[in-house]
């Protein structure tokens, strides 16, 4: 017997909220990898998108044009409170500007929703993150944050190898991000979350420096991150428990790419946008390198995000990107701002 579909709604219809993947034509492959909330709902047989919400009518019209063959009768709203009250959804996606995540998440948690899928970063302040966490926990709602790399098989395989102990204890984590959009909150969020993901430990303190010209940048406004001049790049040294040292570096340059280097006692893992390798050394002059072998999976990106939440709802278990982990990422980013503003000093966690 098939499971009745979960009724879902989507708040925020630009970019990661509503993009539709390009379909392959003339080839024996079908359906592009879902890379948006809407595309994930389309791909998941147990979900039905019953409502969408955006403040701008032109965006609602564009969504209808893009997805009309899939959801010709989806309800449209410009008021998310009305949508939640009238449709009583099981799943709510929050894919709006960062600074309004909190109010929408709290409203969804108290409306009867069972799962909330919220874009990263969870919020722009710890107070807002705490409100979201409290509302979800008080109402027994699963709140998952879209730090997408946590559903990527390469990063999962790398963490599995580290946890196996085959390379010895993890010592340092180095992440780098380059492009004109290498902004701390917009895109750096992913890499700082990756540091937490691999460290599997608590951050103790940070020392950091922001991009020149951001000397008075003490608060992230979270208006969507579309303008690189509104969000700085940064460099930071983060000290964790378990003796782990982490280095984050980003720079706004035309060269585009990112990489993560995980150095352990007996070897290292190097992951870039192009490849993933396991490296071991016999001595200073002799290194051996092998590919980090992975298997292809369909349920990655936003579809993996959705599949996991439904599986945890039905069968129990822990989310891989829970709200409390996402809060840790925001706390580190706010610590980076504080360190820079105070003259690149050490800032201890938890923040006060």
Return d(Cα 88, Cα 106) in angstroms, integer: 14
What is the spatial distance between Cα 228 and Cα 142, in angstroms, rounded to a whole number? 32
The domain 6-147+299-319 is placed in CATH, from the list 3.30.420.40, 1.10.150.120, 3.90.79.10, 3.40.50.720, at 3.40.50.720
Distance CA 189, CA 234 (A): 11
Q: What is the pLDDT of residues 247-288, one digit of tens each?
A: 999 999 999 999 999 999 999 999 998 899 999 998 899 999
- What pLDDT digit, counting tens, does each position of 8-65 carry? 999 999 889 999 987 766 666 566 677 899 999 999 999 999 999 999 999 999 999 9
Residue 294 DSSP SS3: coil
pTM: 0.94
Confidence of residue 1 (pLDDT cuts 50, 70, 90): very low
Residue 219, Ramachandran bin (φ over 0: left; ψ between -120 and 50: alpha; else beta): beta
Which superfamily does 150-296+330-348 belong to?
Dihydrodipicolinate Reductase; domain 2 (3.30.360.10)
Question: What pLDDT score does 89 carry?
Answer: 98
Residues of the chain with CATH 3.40.50.720: 6-147+299-319
Cα dist from 58 to 55, 65, 286, whole Å: 9, 11, 60
User: How far is residue 209 from each of residues 46, 205, 213, 221, 313, measured CA to CA in Å?
Assistant: 46, 14, 11, 19, 41
Rounded to whole angstroms, the Cα distance separating 121 from 183 reads 13
Q: How confident is the prediction for the chain on average, in pLDDT?
A: 93
d(CA 116, CA 144): 6
What distance in Å separates the CA atoms of residue 306 and residue 156, rounded to the nearest whole number? 17
């Amino acid at each position: 017997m098939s499971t009745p579909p979960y009724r879902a709604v989507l708040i925020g219809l630009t970019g990661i909220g509503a993009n539709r993947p390009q379909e392959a034509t003339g080839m024996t492959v079908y359906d592009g990898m879902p890379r948006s909330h809407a595309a994930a709902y389309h791909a998941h047989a147990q979900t039905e998108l019953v409502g969408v919400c955006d403040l701008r009518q032109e965006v609602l019209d564009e969504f209808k044009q893009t997805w009309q063959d899939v959801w010709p009768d989806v309800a449209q709203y410009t008021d998310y409170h009305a949508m939640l009250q009238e449709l009583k959804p099981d799943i709510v996606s929050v894919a709006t500007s960062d600074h309004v995540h909190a109010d929408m998440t709290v409203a969804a948690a108290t409306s009867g929703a069972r799962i909330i899928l919220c874009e990263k970063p969870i919020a722009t302040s710890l107070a807002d993150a705490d409100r979201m966490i409290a509302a979800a926990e008080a109402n027994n709602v699963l709140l998952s944050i879209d730090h997408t790399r946590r559903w990527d098989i390469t990063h999962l395989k790398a963490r599995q190898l580290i946890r196996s102990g085959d390379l010895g204890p993890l010592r340092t984590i180095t992440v780098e991000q380059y492009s004109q959009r290498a902004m701390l909150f917009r895109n750096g969020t992913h890499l700082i979350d990756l540091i937490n993901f691999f460290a599997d430990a608590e951050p103790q303190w940070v020392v950091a420096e922001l991009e020149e010209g951001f000397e008075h940048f003490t608060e992230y406004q979270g208006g969507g991150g579309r303008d690189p001049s509104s969000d700085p790049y940064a460099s930071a040294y983060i000290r964790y428990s378990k003796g782990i040292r982490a280095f984050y570096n980003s720079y706004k340059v035309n060269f585009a790419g990112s990489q993560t280097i995980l150095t352990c006692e007996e070897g290292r893992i190097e992951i870039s946008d192009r490849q993933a390798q396991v490296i071991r050394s016999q001595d200073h002059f002799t290194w051996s390198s092998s590919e980090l072998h992975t298997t292809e999976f369909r349920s990655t990106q936003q579809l993996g995000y959705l599949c996991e939440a439904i599986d945890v709802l039905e069968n129990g278990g822990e989310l891989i990107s829970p709200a409390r982990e996402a809060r840790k990422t925001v706390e580190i980013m706010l610590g980076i701002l504080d360190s820079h503003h105070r003259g690149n000093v050490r800032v201890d966690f938890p923040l006060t």
